[in-house]
Structure 1
C-alpha cells in the first residue's frame, strides 16, 4: 500500500530525527536567498530538490545565481544528462544485465547498534546496515535483531534484481527510516492505514509499522518476537521505499511490490525460483493470506488497466487490481518475449531516462496491440489453470 497523503498529524516522536545527507549541496537564488538541498531531477530547466526535512520543491534553474546554475549543470553531466533532463537515478544499460536471482540470502544475525545519542524517553533508536528503526516502545536489541532479518533480506533481494532499483543510488551510509508503534492508534495517527499492516509515506521516504505486524508483542513487561508471523505486507512496503523516485504506472508500482512480498520467504532466504506456484496460490487463494480471486476472474482490459490513475487503482477494486498487477508483473519478468524481461526493462529504463509513460508503454508493447498482449498473458496463466476474462 502506498500512502500519498498523511491524514493525521505526524506523531511527535517522529519529527526530531533527520538522516544526514552527504550528497546535499548549497544553492543560491539571484535574489540572494541561500538553502541546502539534495538535487533530485532537472527537466526542461525545472529543478526538483529535496530538503533535509524530506520536502520536495521545484525551482526554475534560471532563477539560480550563475555559480549555483553551474553546480546544477555539473551535477546533471555527472548523471549522464543535461539541463534538459537528468536524475539522481542513473540508468546505464549495464544496470540491467545481471542474471535474475534464484535464491537470495540475507544476514541471519544482522548487527544491531543502539543509538543512545538519539534515544530518549518515548523514542528508542536502533540501526542495522541499511535501516534506522525509531520505536515508541523500549525494545530489547535481540528482538530488533530478529525482526530486522526480514528488512535486510528484503533489501538484498531488491538489490539483486536486474531492474536498476533506485536503492542503488543512495549515498553511502544511508539508513532507511522505519517508525515502529506500540499501538495501532498511534500508527493511524501518524498516517498509517487502519486496515494495513504497514504504510510507506513517499513525501517523507519513511515506513510506518505497528509492532504487532512484525510479530512483536508485549508479554508481561517484555517485548517478544513471534517468528511465525506472516510478514509479506512488510516486504511490500519496504519495496516501495527501496524503489521510489520514478513515476511508474500504478499497476507496476503495486505489481512489483507484490512480486517481492509473494516470493516464498523463510528466515533470511527468498526462494525466487519457486515463486510462480506460490504467486498463483496467493492471487487465487485466501489461506493464510491471499487475494482470493479464484481460478477464474474478470479484470479490466489492459488498455485501461495499465493506464489507470493510482487513486482509482487503489480504490474500490484494489484487491482485484493488486492481484492482477502481480500476475502481470510476473508475466513481464519471466515469460514475455524471450523470457528475459527485456521489455519490462525497456519500460523501466525509458522512465528513468525521463521518457513519458506513453513512451514507456510503447517500449513495453514492442509493436503489439493491447489485445495481442491480453491473449498471450491469458494463455500463459491458462496453462496453470487460471482463466482471466477481460471486461
Structure 2
C-alpha cells in the first residue's frame, strides 16, 4: 500500500507542477516567465549540492545494520550539502541581485535538497511510510497551497510558496534534529573514520553524480544562452515553448521504472541488449502523451498572449522522442558497466551542443526557432551517443 501511495504522490506532484506552469503561462508576462525560468535553474542546482553523498545512502544503508553508522552517513551527507548550499547561495547573490522571485525559488530548492536527503535516508532503511510522510508534508501539500494561492493572484503565490515549504520542512525535520547527539557529529574522536566514510561515499556515487550534472547542464544550457544573448523577455517566451518538453520529459523514465529490473536482469544474465517489446511500450506511451498534450495546448494557448508560439512548441516536443529510447538504454549501459564511457560521450556531445549555441550568436542567427531546432537535433545526437556507447562496449565482459 505504501508503494502505491508513493506512486500516486509522485504523479500528483507532477500534475500540480504542470497546473502551476499552465497558470503561469495564462497570467504572467514574458519577463516574469523569464525570471521564473532562471529561478527554476537555481532551484534545481541546489539538488546537486550533496556531491553524490545522497546517492551513496542507497548503497550503504541497506547493508549497514548499526544505527550509529547509518546516522554517520546521513550526517556526512547533510554536512556536505550545507557547505555547498552556502557556496551556491554566495554565487547566486553575485549573479542575480535583488530578484525576489529567484530568492523565493532558491529557498524552495534548499528545502527540497535537504528533504531529498532525508527521503533517501528513510527509503534506504525501508521506511516507505516515513518517505510518504515527507513527500506529502514537504512537497505535495505546500505545492497544493501554492497552486491555490496562484489561482487568486501572483502576489499571494509569492507569499504562500516559500512560507508553506519552509514551515512544513521545519515541522517535519524537528524530530530528526532532536535526536542528533553532539557526540555523534563530533570530529574529535572519529575524524579519520568520517573521512574514510566520505571518500567511500564519493567513490560509489561519483559516476552517477557526474552523469546527473551533465544531463542537468544539457537541459538548462539553452535557457542560459537565451537569457544572456536574447534577454529575459525572450527567455519567458522560450519557457512557454518548452512547456510540453519540460512537462513530458519525465514520462519515458516513469514508464521505464516499471520494467527496468527485468532489463538489468536479462542484460546481466542473458546478455540481451535488444528489448523490442519494452521499447515499443515506452515509445508508444511517450508519443501518445506528446500528441495528447499538443492537442490540449493548442486549445489552452488561445486563452493566452502566446498562441503564436504553438508551432514552435510542437517542434520542441519532438525533442522528447529520443528520451523514450535513452531511458531504456541507460539501464542497459549500467548493467554493462559502461557508465564511464557514457559520461565521456555525453560530455563530448554537451561541448558540441554548447559550441553550436554559441555559433548561432556568432553567425547572428539569434532567434528562438534556430535554438529549438539545435536542441531537438542534439537530443537525437544524444540518442546516437547512447547507442554507440552500447555498440562499442558490448564486447566487454559483463560484471555480475
Q: What is the TM-score when the length of structure 1 is the normalising length?
A: 0.31
More helix per residue: 2
More strand per residue: 1
- Name the structure, 1 or 2, with higher relative contact order (CA <8 Å, separation 6+): 2
